[in-house]
Each structure stands twice: as C-alpha cells, then as structure tokens.
Amino acid sequence: MFSGFTLGIIEFRNLVNVINEVYQLDYSNFAFTAFCRRIEFVMQNNNIHTPSDLMNKIKNDKLFFEIFIRDIAVDETEMFRDPGLWRELRDTIIPKFLAEKEIRIWIPMMTSGDELFTLLIVLREMNLLDKVKVVASTYSTSNIERIKKGIYNLKKMDTNLANYKRYNGDDDLSSYYKTYNGDAFMDAKLHEHVEFNTLDILKDKYPQRNHIILFRDKMIYMNKKLQNDIVNAMHEDLVSHGYLLIGIKEYLEIFIADKKFVLENEHESIYRKHFVVQ
C-alpha cells in the first residue's frame, strides 16, 4: 500500500470542516502530514477515489462514521515497545506507589490495545492486577469490544515476542495467548478488572487523581497547540508526584521550563508532576 502525499492545505481544511460539521470531531490540530496519510488510507481502504467523494460519503452515509474513526486512528505498533520503559515502570515507578490503597493508571486515547495488554502483563507478573485500577479510554464502544476480544495477527506477535524477551530475559510471551487460524487470542482474564470508557481527554473531567498516565506516541499526531492543551489536561489529572510516560522522541520543553513536570528519565521519556500544595 503506497501513500502519495497528494493532499494540499486547502483540501485538508475542507475535509476538517466537513468532518467537524458532520461528526463533531475536530481534526484541525492533527499533525498535517500524518493526517493527510491517514485520509489517503481511509480512501484506499474504502475504495474512495477523491477527497470530494470522501466528503460526500461522510455527509451522506450514516454508517460510515464507525469505519472512518477506526481507519483514521493510528494503531499502536508493538507490545513491549521500548522494553527499557516497561522495566522502569516495573522496577522504579510502580513500587513508589505500593503503599497507596489503590494505584490508578490511565491510558487515554487507546487505539489498538497493544499498550494496554503490555501494562496488564506487567501488572500480572507483579501480582498487582487486583490492586491497580486500570482505566482505558478509546474512541468508540465498538473499539472497546474489539480490544476485549484481544485478537492480534500472529505475524505481528513475532516482534512482540522479541520485545518481551528484551524485557524479561527467559520468559515467553506466548503463555499469555492462545493461537488459532493465524491469530493470537490474548487471555481475557488479563482485562477482567479494567474499566473501559469512551471519555475524551479534553472534554471530560474524569478520571482524575491518577498515579500514572500512559500517553506514548500519541502526541506525535498533534500539532504543538493541541499537545500543550492535552499535557495541561493530563497535568490536572495526575496526583502530585504522579507520572506521565510519553514517547521516547516526544519532549515537554515548556512544561519543564514552567516547572509543571520534571524530566526524571530522559532516555525513556518519564516525567513526574511537580509537587503541588493542595
């Protein structure tokens, strides 16, 4: 599948306006190149030939909405991507909160569930699945159902297996799934206690008082303005000394300067919220 970067700024604006009008979704702050590629993917995947055709489909086909939001989202890439980060979570970050009655971890804007299952496996191995409240927010209830099914392409699992070995040495990730017909089926018990919802990080006030927020490689799909709005929101949603884990090539320059976050681990992009007097 080949993408041609054929959309211009005017088409971008027209599309953003129509999507906002019909779906009440604001993509005006989506990173430009990534948005254009996603639109081309939506078109290619659904046999739509021009941006005009796409706009007409959005306006006229009521059922297209579910397909559109699923196709425009960028899936997470791998389980245990950046194994060093997950080791830090297990060895350094979570242990800081073990004295708490309940540890709260939030994954906003979850797309394909790779990160959720990674977190759940980390917690299972620490015997913390019933002590930690994991909240996972995503764009639609049908995506919640899809993630709960836990079906992943077996070929992609090869990368996950390799990542997991880097995380944990001898053990084998395959103990967490069954295989059937070329697919891997993740153990459903892993997400038994997870709270799934469709909350919007900017529009909805809950959940708050999180100890850890996982938001990795999602800001790369936003322009600077939206990045700042979202980080401000997440800052509000963390406890003092709470942790924000972002992508290894994402950097919160302004928030460090404003003393809202401390960069505790530069290599793994681990940020800690500054102490706030309540």
Q: Is 219 in the site for other proteins (CB under 8 A)?
A: yes
- The rounded distance, in Å, linking the Cα atoms of 240 and 233 is 14
Shortest Å distance, C-beta 212 to other proteins: 21
Q: Is 249 in the site for other proteins (CB under 8 A)?
A: yes
Tell me whether residue 221 or residue 243 sits nearer to other proteins (CB atom): 221
Shortest Å distance, C-beta 146 to other proteins: 18
Shortest Å distance, C-beta 222 to other proteins: 9
Taking CB under 8 A as the criterion, the residue among 14, 18, 28, 37 binding other proteins is 37
Q: Is 224 in the site for other proteins (CB under 8 A)?
A: yes
Lookup: tokens for 195? 């709270």
| Single-letter residue type at 204 | D
Shortest Å distance, C-beta 217 to other proteins: 5
Q: Is 114 in the site for other proteins (CB under 8 A)?
A: no
Tell me whether residue 92 or residue 228 sits nearer to other proteins (CB atom): 228
- The rounded distance, in Å, linking the Cα atoms of 83 and 89 is 10
Taking CB under 8 A as the criterion, the residue among 131, 250, 256, 274 binding other proteins is 250
| Single-letter residue type at 101 | K
Q: Is 251 in the site for other proteins (CB under 8 A)?
A: yes
Shortest Å distance, C-beta 16 to other proteins: 16
Site residues, other proteins (CB under 8 A): 2-5, 31-34, 37, 74-77, 81, 83, 162-163, 166, 217, 219-221, 223-224, 227, 247-251
